[in-house]
Amino acid sequence: MGSKKVYLTESAFYTFIDRSDIKHQMAGAFFRYFAQDGYHLYTSPSTVMYTYEHIQTYMSQSIGRDFLQTLFTSAIDIVYVDEPMMKTAVKLVITTKSANLTLDQALSNIVCDRLQIPYVCTFKYFPYLFGLREFTLPY
């Protein structure tokens, strides 16, 4: 792996937080690896919002608040989308033949492309565009 930039999706966060998730230990290994090897982590406001809502709905309000406090005191960069990014994402959703591409996924792909983030950490379906790849731990 050349670049040490990784984009985090909501599933990366809530899989790490939810100890009952079957992939919780894997998510823990990912975050330990990110910390030990000095990875630069990115996410978006919509990812923060979706994660917070998921935690509040399926866990508790106090865990949701702890998530927000921890996130905003961490070194994770929250990337804000500008108008050209939004227009590009909308065009991508409209013109892509994949019926599974959501606006949030399109925005995530655009952000990664613009900031040259080559990897996405996720634990659910994610359409990889523009040469984007799934983050995996080295063997």
pLDDT one-digit tens code per residue, 2-54: 789 999 999 999 999 999 999 999 999 999 999 999 999 999 999 999 999 99
Domains of the chain (ranges; CATH) run 5-125 (3.40.50.1010)
User: Dihedral angle at the C-alpha atoms of 31, 34, 36, 40, nearest 10 degrees?
Assistant: -140
Give per-residue pLDDT as tens, 42-76.
999 999 999 999 999 999 999 999 999 999 999 99
Q: Is the pLDDT of residue 1 over 60?
A: no
The partner residues of 8 in beta bridges, in order of sequence, read: 121
